[in-house]
Amino acid sequence: MFKEVASSDTSQAREMVDLFKKIFNTSIGNESEPHIPLMNDNGSDISISGDSSLPENYSTGNIVIVGVGGCGSNTVHNLNNLGVEGVKLIAINTDKVHLDGINVPNKILIGENITNGLGAGGRPEVARACAEQDAHKISDALGNRPDLVFIAAGMGGGTGTGAAPIVAKISKDKGARVIGFVTLPFKTEGRHKYKIAQEGIRQLRKWADTVVLISNDKLLQLAGDFPIDKAFAMADYTLAIMVKGIAEIIRKRTMVNVDLNDIRMLMSAGGVAAVGIGESSDPKRRSEEAVRMALKNQLIEISPDGARGALVVVYGGKNLKLTEVHQITEIVASRMSSDAIIKIGADMDEQLGDSVRVILLLTGIKSPDVLGPEGSRKMEERWIPVINDGNSNPVEIVEEVLGRPHVLF
């Protein structure tokens, strides 16, 4: 039933795992004890929610990651164990048992008087009602002024599919830039579940600036021979790479001032955005190798060709040369539109030694897996369960939602 994993895919997967280990200084899956963040007296997370010595209005901005449903809650659980700094983690679910079993500093049980804490039963419309009923809880957890909100969810089930668009709307109403990060069902789970996922994506795109799609089938192809915990952790690390990239761009001092408004401007102008990180210590080709890795993400098909905006931040040890920064920028610029806006930052980090690290924020990219906002397309505000339609052509549904039918098939 499952096609054999090609050796080249396995090699790419191992390259990703090696990069994750290097950047996050940790192992993947259950190879080692997970990072457990320090807790203060009131039980809140210090290392994840932010350094307590920083004021709430610190200039780096407020980055929030919200996991919605079982899949999304698992993601923020893994991010919490990973120890990604400078962000606030929130888990939202209709299933109390699952919510109690994850390690996240901020948890919200929604719709308790609707589902009795037993979950949405695979029904997105129930999850949407739960989220709408407890919208005030979600709003309070997001805080007064979230700047960037990442929403992680699995599409095709109940809570993630139905509640994630409501979380996106609340975040958008607070003035945040919203990035959805969602997984698609396996083909073997059937077209019924695919249709539910398609409608969830369509609703989410009404409010999200960008929606990044992670295909479970692509994950199977890439890391099918990995232990299951390590294989699924790769998707979470992909989100962690995006968040870490943006957080580091904002928080770290660079030779060129790069702030949150630069990030928001590029995201707004380009519509579709993605972040990549690459690192290399090759004595002869470290600049080229680092850029190659930053431009390549095997779980998300990204092409920088014709991109309209980029933020390029380069870190290196004491031997980082200005010519290397220029070379990296030239490589990125050569793949972009001739009228693209490019902002450059560079800094030295002695801990990198002979390595060069490149962080890219690309906007206006082309990818079947990364979707921009719906724009002017008019859609109904209510939940439309297309699985009950019976008269819709499946291909037309996919084209309306994604514009690229082959994304799902």
pLDDT the model gives residue 168: 97
Residue ranges of the chain assigned to CATH 3.40.50.1440: 34-208+376-407
Domain 254-368 CATH class label: alpha beta
pLDDT the model gives residue 399: 41
Residue ranges of the chain assigned to CATH 3.30.1330.20: 254-368
- CA pair distance 45, 227, nearest whole angstrom: 30
212 Cβ contact partners less than 8 Å away, ≥ 6 residues apart? 179, 180, 181, 182, 242, 274, 300, 369, 370, 371
Tell me how many degrees the CA angle 186-28-80 measures, rounded to the nearest 5. Answer: 90
Q: Are strands 336-348 and 307-316 parallel, antiparallel or unpaired?
A: parallel
Which two three-digit tokens encode residue 257? 């001032």
How many CA atoms are closer than 13 Å to the CA of 306, on its beta-carbon side? 6
pLDDT the model gives residue 61: 67
Which two three-digit tokens encode residue 204? 């989410």
Instruction: From 152, 199, 140, 149, select the one nearest 172 (Cα to Cα).
Output: 149
393 Cβ contact partners less than 8 Å away, ≥ 6 residues apart? none
Instruction: From 361, 246, 260, select the one nearest 311 (Cα to Cα).
Output: 361
Helix axes 159-173, 69-82, angle to 10 degrees: 70
Which two three-digit tokens encode residue 182? 């969602």
Q: Hey, is 277 helix, strand or coil? A: strand
251 Cβ contact partners less than 8 Å away, ≥ 6 residues apart? 60, 86
Predicted structure pTM score: 0.75
pLDDT the model gives residue 327: 94
- CA pair distance 409, 407, nearest whole angstrom: 6
Which two three-digit tokens encode residue 14? 């191992």
pLDDT the model gives residue 50: 31
What burial letters (b/e) apply to 140-154, b meaning 16+ CB within 10 Å? ebbeeebbbbbbbbb
Which residues lie across from 360 on neighbouring strands? 276, 312
Instruction: From 231, 283, 297, select the one nearest 2 (Cα to Cα).
Output: 231
360 Cβ contact partners less than 8 Å away, ≥ 6 residues apart? 245, 275, 276, 277, 294, 295, 310, 311, 312, 313, 332
pLDDT the model gives residue 408: 27
Question: Is the distance from CB of 176 to CB of 201 less than 8 angstroms?
Answer: no
CA 261 to chain centre: 20
CATH architecture assigned to 34-208+376-407: 3-Layer(aba) Sandwich (3.40)
pLDDT the model gives residue 350: 87
Q: What is the DSSP string of 16-57?
A: HHHHHHHHHTS-STTSSPPP---B-TTS-BHHHH--TTS-TT
Helix axes 260-270, 228-251, angle to 10 degrees: 120
- R_g of the chain, CA atoms, integer Å: 21
Query: Which uninterrupted H or E stretch holds 316?
Result: strand 307-316
For the chain, 409 residues long, give each residue's pLDDT as a single digit of tens: 333 444 555 666 676 677 776 666 655 554 443 333 322 223 333 222 233 233 343 345 689 999 999 999 999 998 888 777 778 999 999 999 999 999 999 999 999 999 999 999 999 999 999 999 999 999 999 999 999 999 999 999 999 999 999 999 999 999 999 989 898 888 778 888 888 998 999 999 999 988 888 877 777 777 767 777 777 777 777 777 777 777 777 766 666 567 777 777 777 655 577 788 889 999 889 999 999 888 887 677 777 887 888 888 898 988 999 999 999 999 999 988 888 888 888 888 888 899 999 988 888 887 777 777 765 343 333 333 333 344 444 334 334 444 432 232 2
pLDDT the model gives residue 381: 36
pLDDT the model gives residue 253: 63
Q: Which residue type occupies 364?
A: G
Helix axes 7-24, 216-223, angle to 10 degrees: 100
